Structure 1
Amino acid sequence: MAALLIAYFNPAVAAEEERISRQELEQLAPFPEFYEQMSPEGRLDWLNSQIDQTTTPAQNYNFQRALAFEHFFNYRNSKAQDVCDNNPPLSFDIRYRFACIQVSDLSYEKRIDNFLELYETAIEEDDTPMAARVLTSMGWYQSGKGDIAAAFKSYEEALSMGESLDFFTLNDAMVNTASLYIIHGDKDYIRKGIELHKQSIERIRQRASEDPEFAETSRTAMIIPQFNIGIAYALHTFEYEKALEWFEIINASNTEIPHLKFSSLIFSALSAIEIGRTQLAEQYLARTYDEPAVNNTEFSYLYCYRELVKFKLGQEADLDVCLPLHENVPLEVKIDVYKRISELNDDAIKYAGMEQFYKLFDEKLESQLKQSSTSVASTAELHRLQQESRLRNELLEKEIALKEAQQERREDQIRLVVAIAFILLLLVVITVIRLNQKRRLAEQYEELSVLDVLTGLKNRRFLEQNIGREMSFVKRSQANQDGHALGIYLLDIDHFKYINDTYGHEAGDQILIEFTQRINDTIRDTDLFVRWGGEEFLLVARLDNADGLQVLAERVIQAIKQDSYAAGQGKTVDITCTVGSVVYPCVENPEKHISWNKLVQLADLALYYGKEKQRDCWVCIEKISNYESRNTVLELGFEESLRQGLLTFSTSISKPE
C-alpha cells in the first residue's frame, strides 16, 4: 500500500488546505432510510452510483468517506486506504481521520504522531469517546512495538475517562488492557488477564440479554476475548488442552474477521502437536489451506507457526520464513517463535533461532528491561477496577484497592529482578554459542502478494477485491438496457491426480503452467482469470449478451485439448477439462442481488454435474426460476433442481439426462 499522506493532520497546513467547510457538510441531506437495510455489497454499489452523480465537492467528499467506512468496517483495508489517499480527511472530520490512520501503511513513529495529533483534536472537540478510542489503538501499536510502559500509560489514560464512555468503548479498553496483562505480565497477571477476558464475555452476554438489538453484535464482540483466552493458554501458560477448547469455538464459528479463523486453526494445530495429538494436528493443519491467504505483514508470523507444526509432524518444512520475522510482527510473537525454534532437535535451526533471540535482546529487550512498567500497570489496574465497578453499579473501596495496588507493585518489582537475571544468563549462553558457531543469515521474509507463485495468475484474494466492480458494471448495463452480462466459469482439469501420480508433481506443475497460458491466449486481457486452488481455476468474463456464455465455454474447452502437453522425459499427455458456469444476472429481476459467492457455488454445482456425467464438457446455468430459488437449488443439487423446474441450462454433454 502507498504511504498515507499526512499533511492534513497538521492543523496549520490543514487550515490552509481545507476545501470544504463543516457547515457545508452539515447542510447535506442525510442518507435515505433504506441505506441501512441494504447488504454490504448493495451499499457499495449505491455509494459508487451516487459518487458518479455528485455535483458539489461536499457531496463527493461525503459519499467517498462513507465508501471508506464501508471498506474499513468490513476489513478491506487496502481499498479503504485507496479512498483515503484520493479523498483525504478534513481536519475536523475526526472519525474519518481515525479510520484512515488505522488502514495506513505508515512507519511506527509517524502512526503514533498522527494518533497524538488526532487525540489532541478530539480533546479540543470535547469528543471523549473518540479520544479514548485513539488512546486504546495507540496503546496496542505501542505494545506490539515493545514500548510496554507507554502502552500501559495509554490504556491508563483511556480508562480514566470511563465516566464519559459508552459500554462498547469502555469494554474494548478493558479487553485490550487484559491482553496487555497476558502478553507482558508474570504468572499472576496472566491469570488476571484471562479472568478479565472471561468477565468481558459475561458482560457482553448480559448486555445482549437485556438489549435484543445488541444480540447480533454480541457474537462478534465476544469472539475476540474468546480467541485471546485461547492464545493465553497456548502461548503463555502452555495449557494446550484448555487452548483447544477455546479455539474450537472460533473454528466452529462463521466469523468474517480476516485471518481470525486461519489464526485459530494454526494455533489449534500447534496446541494439538504439543500434547502429542498428531492426527488432530494434521486435521487442523489441512484446514488452514482452505482459508484465504494472509497478505498483511503484521500477521505474516502465522506462516512461521504453520511451518513449525509441519516440522514437529515430521513433514518437509521451510523455517526460513521465521528467520528473521518481519519488523511489523509484534515483539511478544517474536520472543515465542525464536524460543520455540531454539528448542528444536536440529542444531542448525536451533542456533539460527538462538541468534535471532540474541539480536532481539540486543536491539529491543535490553532497553525495555531498563524501564519499569510495574507502577503504570498497577495504576491502570486501579482505573480498570473503578470502571468495572461502575458497570456493575457497585462502589469500589478505594482504600483496599490502593493497598492491593501497592502490594502488587512490590511483588512485581521482585519478579522484574528475577526476569532480568534470567535474561542476562540467557545472554551469556547465547554469546558463547555465537562465538563458536558460524551461521548464515536467512533471506528477508518476502511480502505475500495476490499472485499465485507457480502460474503467475492472480489468486482468490485478488478476485474478492475486484469481482464487485464487474458485477456493478453489469447492473448499470442492465439498468441502461445495454444487455451486457457476466459469465462466471469454474474450470477443473480432468483426472489431474492421475497425472501427478503417473508423471510426477514436477510434470504436473508444468502442465498447470501450460494450461494457464492456453486460457490466457483464449480470453481477453480485461477478463478476471485466477487460480482457485489446486487444478481448479475461475474465470470471470464480460459478455455482450447472455448467449455468449456457451460460446466462450466451448472456446475454452477446445483450446485446452487442441494439442498434447509435455510430461517430461520426452513423454506427452492429452489433457481435457470440465467447465461449469453461470450467467449473471440469472434471475428475471436483476435488481435482486445475488452475491458473487452464491454465483460461484452455482458454477461449482454445474461443474460437478459435468464431472459426474461425462467430463471434457461444459455445463452452463442460464436461468434460475426466481430469486427465492437460489438457495433451494444449492440445497437440492443440480439434477433434483432440474426435475423441479428450478433452473434451465445448456451443455455440450452428448446425452444429458
Structure 2
Amino acid sequence: MILLQWNGVQFKSLSNFIALVFCVFVSTQLFASEVVTTNITEVPVTLPQVYETYSYEEKVDWLKQAIDNSKSRDNIYRLTTELVFQYDLNNETELIRSTCQSLPPESKDLDYRLLCVTAHVDNDETKLKTLVVLQKDALEADNIRVAAESSSTIAWIYSSFGEIEQAFRNYEIALPLAEYANIYLFNDVTLNLATLYIVHGDSEYVEKGISLMLDAIERVNNLLLDDPSASRYVENTLARIHFNLGIANTFHRTNYPQALHYFGLIDPELTELRQSVLVFSSLAYAELNNFEESKALLAQSFQVPSSQTFNSDYLKCYQEVIKVKLDDSTEIEQCHLLSESTSVEVQQDLLKRMIDAEHAELSLIGLQKLYSLYINSLLPLLKQNSGKSASRTELTRLQQESRLKGELINKEKALTAAEQEKLASQSNLTIAIIAVFILLLLMVVLQLRQKQKLADQFAQMSLFDKLTGLNNRHYFEQNIKREMRFVKRAIEGDRYTPIAIYLFDIDHFKNVNDTYGHDVGDEVLIEFARRINEAIRDSDMFIRWGGEEFLLVARLFELDDYYAIAERVRGAISDTEFELENMLKLKVSCTIGSVIFPSSPEDDLTRPWDQLVKLADNALYMGKRQQRDCWVCVDKVIAEENFSLVLSQDLEDSIKDNLVEVTHSIKEFDRS
C-alpha cells in the first residue's frame, strides 16, 4: 500500500489524494479568476470625451472635483492614479509624493507603483530595494515598460555606487525590454548605457559609447517624421546627446575641435545647459590656444544663470582654472570649495587640470583633493571589489563542498527510493500520471485563454486613433475587403450597389500649426472629425488616414448620393467657423477627392483597393491645385487598359486626354 503525504496529512488512497489536489487547483483558479475580474486596476477610469482637449490645469481641476464627488473607493482610486499621471507629465514631484502617501498604490498597479517609488523614496539604497521588487513583479506580469524603466533606474543607481558590473547586468535586462516597449524609453536607456560606457570604460568602450550616441541621433531625428508632436522631446534629447558627446571629447578623447562642434549644436535658448556649454567651450578654446575666443565665452558664462535641475557649482572652479591658463587671474577660492559630492568623472578631469596648471597653490590644492578622492571614494571601492572577489571565491568553495555532501546524501536517498519503487503498483503510477497530465492541461488551457483575452484587447486598441477617437488606417486595411465583397455579392444578385471612397484633406493645416501651435492643430482635427461624423451615416466607415487626411467609405444605394455626400461634408466643414479653446474662431475648409467602385456593373471587380485610394488621392490633389474648398469625383476611367496611365499622371492630363470622366464643384476649372 502506498502512503501519500501532503502538508503533513497522510492519504491511504491515491484516488482521494488526486481528488483533493484537483479540487484545490480548480478552486484556486476560480478564486484567482474572480480576483482578476474585480481588480480595480484593470478597469479604466471613466473620463468625458472632452477630457483630452483640456489643458493640464483643467484636467487637474476636473479630476480633483470628480474625486471629491465620488463615493466609490474603486473610482476614487482610478481617478487618483490618473491625477498622479498628470502630475508626472508636468514634473510635479512633490504633488506625486504627497498623493502617494495619502493613497498608496495597489500591488498589481505597477505603473502607479513606479511613479511613487521614483518620487517618494528618499535615498538610493531604499529606492534600490523597492525597485528590485517592482522589477520582479513587472517581469512576472509581462509589463514591459515598467520592467524596462525599473531595470534602467536600478542600473543607474548601481553605477552611482560604483557597482559597474551590476549596472551593466541590469542594462542588459533593460535594453531589449525598452526596445519592445517604445522608442522614447529605448532612447533613454541607450543613452544612459552609452554614458556608462564613456564614464567607466576603457578607450574601446568610450568609442562604443560614442557610437551608440551617434546612432541615437539618427533615431531621434527620425521620430519627427513619424510624430511631429514630439518636437520638444527631440530638441531636449538631441541637446543632451550633443552635450554628452562634447564632454566625452573634452574629458576622454581630448579632441577639442570635435568637442566644440558638438557644443555648437546646442540651442543657446536651453538655459539649463547654457552655462556648462559656455564654460567647457571656453576650456576647449583655451586648450587650442585660441585665447581671444576663450575669454569671450568665459565672460558670457558669468552672465547666464546656473542650472536649476542639477548642481553645477564645480563650474566655478573650471572658470578659475581657465582664468589661470589665460593669465587673467590668480584667484582660486572656488577650487578650495570644490565639493567631494561632485561626480568622480568631473573630479578626475578637474583635479588633473589643477595639478597641471602653472600655479603652485592651485597644483597643491589639486594634489590634496586627489588624495582625498582616493581615500574617500576610490580606495573603499577597490576594497569593496576585492572583498566581492574574495566572497565569490569562498562561495564557490562552499558550493563545491555542499555539492560533494549532496552527492553522498543523494546516493543514500536513491537506494532507499529504489527499494520503495519495487513496492509501487504500475496501475497506480499510470493513474497518477494521467491526473497530473489533466491538471497540466487545465493550467495550459486557462493560461492560453487569459493570454488570448489580452491579445484581443491589444489588437482592439491598435485599431483606434487616440486623438480623434476614430478608427485608423490599420482598421481600414482589415475591413475594406469586406466592403468590396459586399459590392461583388450585390452584382451577383443583379443589384448594382457600388461604394464610394472619399479622401478629405484640411486646407492650409500647416499654417494652423505654425501660427497657433500643435495644441490648436489637435483641436481642429478633433472638431473636424466630429463634424464629419454628424454629416455621415452610422453605417459608413470613417477613419483617420494620417496627419490631416481622413478617409470615408460609403455604400451608395442611390447614385446621386455620390456627389451629395461630398457636398454635405464640404459644407459641414466650411459653412461655419470652428470655435476652439480660448475664444479662438478659425475659418476651416477641406478639399475632397473621391472614386466610385465599380463605375458600372461591367467594370473589373478585382481592382486592388490601394489603386482606388490612389485615384481618389489624384482627384484630391487636382482640387488642391485648382481651388481648394471643393470636391472632385472620378465617375469613370474610360478603358481598363488606361487605368495605370491615369494613376501615374495628374488628373488634369487624364481629362485632357479623354481618359476619365469627372464631376466637380470647381468654379473656374483650368484645363491647361
Between structure 1 and structure 2, the one with the greater Rg is: 2
TM range (shorter): 0.3 to 0.5
TM-score (norm 2): 0.46
Higher helix share: 2
Higher relative contact order (CA 8 A, sep 6+): 1
Query: Could you state the TM-score of these two structures normalised by the residue count of structure 1?
Result: 0.47
